[in-house]
Amino acid sequence: MAEPGNPRFARLTPTQCEQIHHASLQILEWTGVRLFDQAAIELITKAGAQVDGDRVRIPARLVEHALTTVPRSLTLYDRLGKPVIQLEDYHTYFGPGSDVLNIVDHRTWERRKPLLQDVRDGIMVCDALSHIDFVMSMFLPGDVDNRIADRYQMEVMLNHTTKPIVIVTYEMSGSLAQLVICDEIVSFVKSFLQPVEIDDETLALDLIDQLGPDGSFLNTDHTRRHFRERWYPNLIERFNYGQWQAKGGKTLAQRAADRVDRILSTHKPPPLSEDAAKAIHAIVERAQHALTN
């Protein structure tokens, strides 16, 4: 059984994990992989791999040795220098994807090609959502040259969030409304996984005995002290159908879109220093100038 607050879902047994690991070693050594970076090919050749053009076969001993050099933990810091993510053991963190090729516009629900402004809006929303731990570039902007899109994306991320930045690869489509719904779900999961306090204060046996089977607990000091400790949703509807209709009958997606608009109109991430912003923009300008000329 997993410890409270640190649950682990294990679909594979340790023996099965070992079987997959040894099969992976066999594939790398017998079948090999393709490498298209010449510097990487030269490095792995010196380390003892067998190279035939861009096909590389890596001995199991080389892989096992490399695994012994991997750090057991890694700390990610935010822009302000505060450690916020500790990658070790079974710690879990949440963030968006990157380089999505399409966006579902939260204002029109139209699926379209994203622009650099969508990257900016997405990063602003991520920065505002308290249960999003890190950011990624989210969208591949179609209004800049894709050969240097990463420079534009990085400039936006550095300017519009203080959270750690992670970079990977292309995905298919995404939505800012979906992002705030995910933040709500993550909020619930985090609350659900917290350890349950069982002690004299939470059991409140004296209070139960004092009020008896006919008493009301709603107006007690004990309730006032603790009722805010429970998880309450910001987007998921808690009213009954009639109350929901009386409030306007907005769907979850519509309520999420409204929250995106509120964030974009009110949230102001801490700005970069003027010198840092200029230096970052100069990198983008140099890349653009190199392409133009």
For 150-190, the pLDDT digits (tens) are 889 999 999 999 999 887 655 555 689 888 988 998 888 88
227 and 110 within one domain? yes
pTM above 0.75, yes or no: no
37-59 average pLDDT score: 92
pLDDT of res. 3: 55
245-249 average pLDDT score: 86
Domain-terminating residue out of 68, 83, 109: 68
| φ, ψ at 23 (rounded to 5°) | -65, -40
151 and 30 within one domain? no
**26 Cβ partners below 8 Å, 6+ apart?**
60
18 and 154 within one domain? no
Residue 227 — very low, low, confident or very high, per pLDDT cuts 50/70/90? confident
Domain-terminating residue out of 68, 89, 106: 68
Average pLDDT, the chain: 87
The two structure tokens encoding residue 181: 């719904």
CATH of the domain at 292: 3.20.20.480
Tell me, what amino acid is at 111?
R
44 and 87 within one domain? no
pLDDT of res. 173: 57
Q: Higher-confidence residue: 21 or 171?
A: 21
Q: Quick one: which H or E segment has residue 192?
A: helix 176-192
164 and 21 within one domain? no
Domain-terminating residue out of 68, 85, 111: 68
Classify residue 8: in a domain, yes or no.
Answer: no
Pair 165, 290: CB distance under 8 Å:
no
The two structure tokens encoding residue 133: 């731990």
For 93-137, the pLDDT digits (tens) are 899 988 888 999 999 999 999 999 999 999 999 999 999 999 998
200 and 129 within one domain? yes
**DSSP reduced 3-state for 223:** helix
pLDDT of res. 170: 52
106 and 239 within one domain? yes
Residue 7 — very low, low, confident or very high, per pLDDT cuts 50/70/90? low
Classify residue 91: in a domain, yes or no.
Answer: yes
pLDDT of res. 142: 92
143 and 233 within one domain? yes
Which stretches of 125-185 are assigned E, i.e. beta strand? 171-174
285 and 161 within one domain? yes
Range of the domain at 45: 14-68
Of 3-7, 92-96, 226-230, 276-280, minimum mean pLDDT range: 3-7
Classify residue 163: in a domain, yes or no.
Answer: yes
Could you tell me what percent of the chain has a pLDDT over 90?
Answer: 47
111 and 54 within one domain? no
260 and 293 within one domain? yes
pLDDT of res. 160: 94
Residue 141 — very low, low, confident or very high, per pLDDT cuts 50/70/90? very high
d(C-alpha 97, C-alpha 165), whole Å: 11
Tell me, what amino acid is at 224?
R
pLDDT of res. 116: 95
Number of structural domains found in the chain: 2
Classify residue 246: in a domain, yes or no.
Answer: yes
236 and 94 within one domain? yes
